[in-house]
Structure formats: structure tokens, C-alpha cells
Amino acid sequence: MEKKVIKAQKRTIVGRKVNALRREGLLPAIIYGHNIDALTISLNARDTQKILSHVSGSTIFTIDLEGEEFSTLIREIQRDYIKGDLLHIDFLAVSMKEKLRTGVSITQIGEAPVLEKYPALLVSGIEEVEVECYPQDLPQTIEVDVSNLQEIGDSIYVKDLQAPDNVDIITDPEELVVVVSAVKEEVVEEEVEAVIEEAESISEPEIIEHGKKEEESEEAE
């Protein structure tokens, strides 16, 4: 497993004053969890954004806090709801010598033959499963192979998933992961006709003014 390292500095500035850090290109964050007191830290915002764009929610990060390293998982990310910029990250410290439980996303692989035979679609159930393992064994994703879905109504449940070595899936085995559903052509036609009628009824574009001022949110430390 490739080590993902994020460099950090200790932070004493909290509350609304962290906006000054953000203007300097720094990202406020916190580490809490396994046998440590909560640590307020700051990260390089640009570097952190770049790292997060290439990982999953189950990635183990090594926080290098001025030479002291902490193995962590991301527990919460706060973003600016308009710009999408990172505002704050909560890191959960974990022990590499103890098993943990966390959610891992599900990824579909393969091509479902049923989609070539019938007007059908694949309907997803749950999007992640809870697993238990050592941090170093934590998978980036759990794959579900849909290449065996042949008929309408075929489905895949948690019990059908293949967990990687040294990983136990804790989620209820009867939870639905994906099912093949028939597409009702007449419903689709009605929706298309409705869209066409609506388009024809529009004579002039409607102008909607957006001018609500964004409110500054307080950061919970």
C-alpha cells in the first residue's frame, strides 16, 4: 500500500480567525482518536486538495506533524458549498496494530449481458459496505462484478461480494447491492412527450435573479 503523507503544522488559531489562515493558503484541520488528545493543525490547502483528488474515502493518510507521524482516516470534510473549496478536515487517528471498522465504497466492474438482451437498467442498492480489518489491509474499494447478470430481476447481495484477503465484511449479507430492472417503454415515451410539449409552450426564456448573499459559517472545533 502506497504511503500517503500530508505535512502539517501545529495550529493555535481557532474559530472565525481561521479565515486568515485560509487567505494564506492554509487549511485548518484536527486530529483526534486513538490514544491522543485532539490536535489542531493546518495543512497546505493546494497540496491537500491535489492528494484528495486521487484517493478514496478509505485511504489511510500519514500526517507528518513537524516530524511526528500519525496514521489517520478522514472522518469529515467541510467545503464551501458554492466554490467547492476545502474549509476543514477531521482526521481520525488509528493504530496500525489494531483492527478497525469503517465504510468502503462499492465499485461495479464488468458488463452486464442483460443490458444487451433487454431494455433494462442496473439499479444500485447500498453504495458502501462496512468492513473490519487492520488499517494496512483496508481496500480502496470493494468490487462487484455485474458480468453474470443475465435476466430481468437478477440481483447481487452483500453475501455475493468477494472480500479481499484479511478483510471481513460486516454489513448485513442480505443487503441489496444491485438489481436488474426492466425499463417500461411506455413510461419513457410519455416522459419524452411531456418534455417536448413543455419546450413548445415556452415562448420566452424566464429570467431568474440570484442575489442571495452567502452567509459565513462558523467552524466547529
pLDDT digits (tens, 9 = 90+) for 7-58: 999 999 888 889 999 999 999 999 999 788 999 999 999 999 999 988 888 8
**pTM of the predicted model over 0.75:** no
Beta strands at 142-145 and 100-109: parallel, antiparallel or unpaired? parallel
Mean pLDDT on 195-207: 52
Burial label for 66, CB within 10 Å (0-12, 13-18, 19+), is exposed
**Would you identify the CATH topology of the domain 101-201?**
RNA Polymerase Alpha Subunit; Chain A, domain 2 (2.170.120)
What is the predicted pLDDT for the residue at 56? Answer: 85
Q: Is 46 helix (H, G, I), strand (E, B) or coil?
A: helix
Higher pLDDT, 214 or 65: 65
Judged against a pLDDT cut of 70, whether residue 197 lies above it is answered with no
Least-confidence region, from 86-100, 112-126, 179-193, 203-217: 203-217
Reduce the DSSP state of residue 10 to 3 states and report it. strand
- Tell whether the model's pLDDT for residue 188 goes beyond 80: no
The class of domain 4-98 in CATH terms is: mainly beta
C-beta of residue 104 within 8 angstroms of C-beta of residue 139: yes
Kindly give, in sequence order, each residue whose CB lies less than 8 Å from that of residue 1, ignoring residues fewer than 6 positions away. 60, 136
Residue 190: partners with Cβ closer than 8 Å, 6 or more residues away: none
pLDDT digits 0-9 by tens, 115-173: 999 999 999 999 999 999 999 999 999 999 999 999 999 999 999 999 999 999 999 99
Residue 179 — pLDDT band, cuts 50, 70, 90?
A: very high
Extents of the domains making up the chain: 4-98, 101-201
CA-to-CA distance for 75 and 68, rounded, in angstroms?
20
